[in-house]
A and B are shown apart, each in its own frame.
Chain A
Amino acid sequence: MKKGFFANKKLKYGSIAAGLTAAVVVFAVLVNLAFTALCQKYSWYVDMTPERLYGVSETSVSLLSPLENTDTQIRIIFLQDRDRVTESYYSNLVYQCAMNFSQQFNFVTVDFIDMEAHPQQVEKYRTTAATQLGKQNVIVENGSDFRVFQLQAFFYSDSQTNELIAMNAEYKITSTILQMTAKSTPIAYFTVGHGETTESSSLWTLFSEAGYDVRTIDLSRETVDPDGKVMIINGPKYDFIGAYESDGALTEVNEMDKLDDFMDGQGNVMLFMDPEATATQDFRNLRELLADWGIALGDTVIRDTSNSVSVDGYSLVAQYETEGLGASITKAMRSLETIPKTIVHYAMPINTLWESKSIDQSVRKVSTILKSYPTSESLSLSTSESLGTGEYDLMVFSQDSIYIDNEPHYTYLTVCGTSDFCAEEFLSSSAFGNSDVLYAIMKVMGKEVVPADIDLRLFEDNSLVVTNTQARVWTVCLTAVLPAAVIAVGAVVYVRRKRYDENEK
């Protein structure tokens, strides 16, 4: 008879039991490890947020799908380990957004470099000796081209409290990928030499973030690059140089010719004009250009104390045009449940000379985008005397359409009666629709690098509106009344049971 280890029944069954126990525990651990890894890899989760913070919109999918099965390889790199990235709510949001992109598009991958443990791997991203890279940076790389972002760049903050109120990571990543993979980056020029506001403006940042290569241009000395798509004249204080001086003499340089040539080559122009500048300067040459496009500058300033966000009535809440070509600019905004207000501060009226006109082989149509309410009044710039009340156009655009090789080509001239339309307090705040209007105009101008339909993902705000009394009452109810009721029931049950037991005895 075989004797040995398994002859002892206790040892035999004990070993089997221990082995079974260990097997079950190991199986549970392995199943968990595998499922956790799969969930991380394939983003198997449900987004419970009201604004669907964790997801890629159809707009991004349609914009980036053409890059599938090409040589494009986009890396989204976080400069710390994955577990560190997911420790913070905000960095986790950006990480989840990046993972969604990698799930959706086969050319996008997400990588992690612990820059403290492997500093040499991030050296190539320090473009200059002064470049600061930190653990909060996120790098989007396409081959040798890359962009370095601070974590805050993926969020939108309240201009007054600096509190993060929305996420724009999807927009940021999509526009960066489009910008990096565009065959040529469209150029947005800010004219200089006439007292304009350029690099320091929020408008500059807006165009830059929209994927444009933003540059200044001095038309008196420089030529326009063929990739130039938009020219922005932001608050000029002096007129552009035309063919003739004021005394009739020929000028040595002709900025207006360059502007005309630019627009004839399907370049678009945006003009933000201040009323105070027109009060002191003639702007004869610019006015001539505008007249060719059916637009004239007013010589007054508009005030409306009934529809204004300022006490003095000059920060007008603009009315959106609902008919014609201009209505298409604000169509998406007007369809929102809460329509954002667009603010036009200290603006002159923009007048339409004609609605439609054929010029050579093209047709030009002028349309209003924004106008004031009927309660607004037009004031003299010099005396502030009221010169009339009614609706006044505040932002107008003129579309030139021409057929080239049987294909329609459009050029746009947009004119706004104030450069304060692009002030930081209005452009940076998600409470106002100023940036939405500008994005919509950029999209109409036909720039695919501007994914204008990707909305900000607002964070839910579960603020409560309670009084002190209400707060006190609820605190007492929940902390004392409910538990007291339970204790009372328990006491009653206990006493009754005790009496029952005594009676039984």
Chain B
Amino acid sequence: MFAIYKKELRSYFTTPSGYIYMASFLAISGFLFCLYTVQNALDGSTSDLPGYYKMLIYVMTVLLPVLTMRSFSEEKKQRTEQLLLTSPVSLSGMVAAKFLAAYSVFTLTYLVTCSYYTIIGLYSDADQLVTTDVGTTMLGYSIAILLLGGAFIAIGIFISSLTENQITAAVATIAVLLLLTVISLLTQYIGIAPLRELIKFLSVQTRFVNFTYGIFDFAALLYYACVMGVFLFLTVRVYEKRRWA
């Protein structure tokens, strides 16, 4: 499994896809962070970290599929999946290795964005009675974003396993992630409370909103972990079926 992990990780750093993902993510997140902090300061407003993270989720829905689109699609296209199916590595190990490789790239890129908090540390208004506790805020948001990213990657890997076309995989993943993110917007048109609760239960944005309120929500973290687990399990099931087909 570790061999597959190393191979996948190396492929992200020896092909353009990893660098394109990292550069795009850093550029967009850097721009958004400056927009919601220093630009707000110039306009006389306070920093809007919740706004930044809400936008970051949308950035993840578009960019994470770039990481996952080739996970299994390329294997299928290159007809190398037979090697995987017949290798001594278990299917779970194979899926986990690919997931971890993509997750490592995502985590590394996200950790670089944590350095943006230097701006808040350097330029906070010391006269204010209550200022942001940078450490706690960053930790809370980071745990949520990392788990959410894991869930998105798991969904992307699952969709990638269903098709041999990378573009199809990417587009379908973006569509599914966007659906999960914006579905809560429908609730304003729904008058039935249980239905609204169900939609909000599924929405990743609604789950994330407690973190923007300053609440470390264990239920949201479990949700993201379960989505991750379920979609990785479904990916294994897809390959189980192919192995025995």
Contacts and interface: CB of A to CB of B under 8 A. Distances in A.
B237 A466 contact: no
Nearest to A481: B30
Nearest to B133: A50
Interface stretch (B65-73, B82-90, B115-123): B115-123
A30 to B, nearest CB: 10
Contacts of A28: 226, 229-230
Nearest to A53: B214
Interface residues of B, number: 69
A474 B222 CA distance: 36
Interface string B198-217: 00110000000011111111
Given A45-B215, A46-B216, A48-B216, A464 B23 contact: no
A403 interface: no
B27 A479 contact: yes
Contact of B197 (A24, A32, A83, A92): A83
A497 B10 CA distance: 12
A51 B214 CA distance: 10
Contacts of A487: 19, 23
A464 B124 contact: yes
Interface of A is mostly: helix
Contact of A462 (B46, B222, B233): B46
A470 interface: yes
A489 interface: yes
B132 A460 contact: yes
Interface in B24-44: 24, 26-27, 30-31, 33-34, 37-42
Contacts of B210: 45
A143 interface: no
Interface residues of A, number: 64
Contacts of B78: none
A480 B223 CA distance: 35
A461 B130 contact: yes
B22 interface: yes
B219 A39 contact: yes
Contacts of B38: 464, 466, 470-471, 474-475
B18 interface: yes
B160 interface: no
Nearest to A338: B129
B234 A462 contact: no
Contact of A49 (B191, B201, B214): B214
A40 B46 CA distance: 30
Given A114-B193, A461-B46, A493-B13, A480 B217 contact: no
Given A462-B120, A464-B38, A493-B13, 13 more contacts: A28-B230, A33-B201, A35-B222, A54-B214, A114-B193, A460-B130, A463-B47, A463-B125, A464-B125, A465-B123, A466-B41, A479-B31, A490-B23
Interface of A: 13-14, 17, 20-21, 24-25, 28, 31-33, 35-36, 39-40, 44-51, 53-54, 81-83, 89, 92-93, 96, 114, 117, 338, 458-466, 468, 470-471, 474-475, 477-480, 482-484, 486-487, 489-491, 493-494, 497
13 contacts: A21-B233, A35-B222, A45-B210, A46-B140, A48-B140, A50-B130, A50-B133, A92-B213, A460-B131, A464-B37, A465-B125, A474-B34, A483-B22
